[in-house]
Amino acid sequence: MEYLTNFFLPSAESTYAANVDALFHFINIVSLILLVGITIAIIYFAIKYRRKSQEDTTPLITHNTTLEVTWTVIPLILILIVFGWGFNDYVEMRTPPANSYEVYVESFSFGWNFEHPNGIKESNNLTVPVGTPVRLIMRSRDGDVLHSFFVPQFRLKQDLMPNRNTYAWFEAKNTGQFVYFCTEYCGGGHSMMNGTVTVLTAAEFDEWNEEELGRDLDALPLAELGRLVYQQAGCQGCHSVDGSSRVGPTLQGLYMREREFTDGSTRIADEDYLIESILYPQELVNVGYPNNMPNIYQQTLSEREVLGLVEFIKELQ
């Protein structure tokens, strides 16, 4: 049966994925049988009852109660089966088990933040234990737009909205890495809004937790802290570090390069400029890029984190 449920679909990696596939295949197979049967019947009757000559006097048939009841009742039964089956699976997919591990998910243009119950934060990768129900409490950043969290191998898809929580849950059957996507067209960085769900064994997950909790951010060198902030504050959604263009300019080779702004002025990207453009992103806008960097980093980043970003950028030559 496994080969059938995986037929032209990604492997089924959550506990409810196989149910979703089974219903999908049931609908497909029933539709296929009906399509073939009805098509053959149409062709057969069209030939058999065609008008053979002008004198053909075969009487017109206006209705047949038995036939009409049959072709109404059978589809009705099929639809009720699909409804009952789908409703049952839907309820399961919408009802996380009571002992679920809870993760807060925040989406923004253009990236994802995950916060674990013990305070560990991740961006663009979610680490979870295998065989454990995980409940996602999801929200789009205030003032941001709709995004949608889609893990094809889990058959999981849920929209996120600003100012309102939505929920989803899954239980991974196997360890491994599973790609997720943003599946709501949300702007220029939509195609970059993907990442991975990393599923670890319980022991690996404990180890990972210890490692993350033991990390002393104040002891990190500035540039390393900056790399972390770059990943976690959402910078990487819009700014690449490899020279490629995203929604915003790349950070590679940015330091000490001359920048051109929409007001016609230019400036060398020294430390002062980098700090200012992080804290007041809408003051000077680079030519060729939209003025849509969030004006939030005065509130969300500490002074050391801003300096960390500057040092991080300086190393990207």
Interface positions with ligand CUA (CB under 6 A): 110, 147, 182, 184-186, 190, 193
Rounded distance between C-alpha atoms, residue 59 and residue 184, angstroms = 57
Name the residue among 206, 312, 293 with its Cα closest to residue 255. Answer: 312
Q: Do β-strands 133-140 and 101-108 pair in parallel, antiparallel, or remain unpaired?
A: parallel
Q: Determine how many CB atoms are found less than 10 A away from the CB of residue 158.
A: 19
> Which residue, 193 or 293, is less far from ligand CUA as judged by CB?
193
CB of 163 to ligand CUA, least distance (A): 16
CB of 177 to ligand CUA, least distance (A): 20
What amino acid occupies position 131? G
> Which residue, 15 or 107, is less far from ligand CUA as judged by CB?
107
Dig out the tokens for 25 from the structure.
């295949």
Rounded distance between C-alpha atoms, residue 179 and residue 79, angstroms = 33
Q: What per-residue string of b and e applies to 304-317 under the rule 16 or more CB within 10 Å gives b?
A: ebbbbbbbbbbebe
CB of 186 to ligand CUA, least distance (A): 3
CB of 105 to ligand CUA, least distance (A): 12
- 218: Cβ contacts below 8 Å, ≥ 6 apart: 304
Rounded distance between C-alpha atoms, residue 167 and residue 134, angstroms = 11
CB of 191 to ligand CUA, least distance (A): 8
> Which residue, 110 or 312, is less far from ligand CUA as judged by CB?
110
> Which residue, 189 or 308, is less far from ligand CUA as judged by CB?
189
CB of 223 to ligand CUA, least distance (A): 29
> Which residue, 110 or 273, is less far from ligand CUA as judged by CB?
110
> Which residue, 193 or 306, is less far from ligand CUA as judged by CB?
193
CB of 125 to ligand CUA, least distance (A): 16
CB of 49 to ligand CUA, least distance (A): 54
Rounded distance between C-alpha atoms, residue 113 and residue 147, angstroms = 13
> Which residue, 157 or 304, is less far from ligand CUA as judged by CB?
157
Q: Which residues pair with 267 in a beta bridge?
A: 259
- SS3 per-residue string spanning 33-68: HHHHHHHHHHHHHHHHCCCCCCCCCCCCCCCCHHHH
CB of 111 to ligand CUA, least distance (A): 9
> Which residue, 126 or 182, is less far from ligand CUA as judged by CB?
182
Phi then psi for residue 251, to 5 deg, are -90, -10
Cis peptide before 114 (omega within 30 of 0): no
> Which residue, 78 or 146, is less far from ligand CUA as judged by CB?
146
Angle between helices 65-94 and 17-48 (to 10 degrees): 160
